[in-house]
Amino acid sequence: TKIIGVEPAGASSMYESVVVNNKIVTLENIDKFVDGASVARVGDITFEIAKSFVHDYVQVDEGAVCSTILDMYSKQAIIAEPAGALSVAALEDYRELIKGKTVVCIVSGGNNDINRMKEIEERSLLYEEMKHYFILNFPQRPGALREFVNDVLGPQDDITKFEYLKKSSQNTGTVIIGIQLKDHTDLQQLKENVNQFDSSNIYINENKMLYSLLI
């Protein structure tokens, strides 16, 4: 029997303490999205127990947790909070190792506010590489949006966000646009199309500071 400890990637205080430093450390910054399991410093007693009984540690991306929450709800009608879904979200990392073995996941916690579901869905789509945001210089002339849709988007792509402030004194205006793909493998083609439309575009998904303004 092996015990696997699972933590959110943005708050891996136990892994850093037990595996990396062999002593309790305090993380300077943590992502508190998985609020039931996100601590900057682990407890003294918990640390000693983990050292003695936990065989391995895995850090799960917060986006993977969100995908798991939605999957558990849609397929099994289980309502789990982010911390409750952690253990199930970690299974993907052990897919090959657990074949033919008995696995028990502790799903502890269903305190999920319905108001968080929009953020959970958004984080899931970003993690699955289905949602993408760009900042573009958009031509200020009739038909520009139609041209963008025809030349840049695929037949099944969807615009989910469009923020634009028209400036009559300029030829272009800055646009923040969100695009949802039907298939994540279409991303490269989307990027190429966007670059042809505006070579100075900014891909927000890869810019942590701008990305934090959206999520």
Q: What pLDDT, in 10s, does the model give residues 82-99? A: 999 999 999 999 989 999
Q: Lowest-confidence range among 32-36, 73-77, 163-167?
A: 163-167
Band the pLDDT of 109: cuts 50, 70, 90: confident
Tell whether the model's pLDDT for residue 167 goes beyond 80: no
Which pLDDT score is estimated for 17?
Answer: 97
Copy the structure tokens of residue 156: 């099944």
Which alpha helices (DSSP H) does the chain contain, by range?
Answer: 13-15, 44-53, 62-76, 82-89, 117-127, 144-152, 187-197, 208-214
Which amino acid does the sequence have at 69? I
Report, as an integer, the average pLDDT of 28-44: 95
Tell whether the model's pLDDT for residue 30 goes beyond 90: yes
Contact 59, 82 (CB under 8 A): no
Which pLDDT score is estimated for 205?
Answer: 92
Copy the structure tokens of residue 119: 């953020």
Which pLDDT score is estimated for 170?
Answer: 80
Q: What domains can be seen in the chain, in order of their start residue?
A: 4-124 (3.40.50.1100), 130-214 (3.30.70.260)
Helix (H, G, I), strand (E, B) or coil at 17: helix
> CA angle 111-212-177, nearest 5°?
110
Tell whether the model's pLDDT for residue 15 goes beyond 80: yes
The pLDDT mean for the chain works out to 93
- The structure's pTM equals 0.83
Contact 59, 14 (CB under 8 A): no
Report, as an integer, the average pLDDT of 132-147: 92
Residues 174-205 have pLDDT tens digits of 999 999 999 999 999 999 999 999 999 999 99
21: closest CA among 45, 2, 47?
Answer: 47
pLDDT more than 70, % of the chain: 100
Which pLDDT score is estimated for 108?
Answer: 87
Which pLDDT score is estimated for 214?
Answer: 77
Tell whether the model's pLDDT for residue 113 goes beyond 90: no
Report, as an integer, the average pLDDT of 114-119: 87
Strands 56-60 and 4-8: parallel
Which pLDDT score is estimated for 27?
Answer: 97
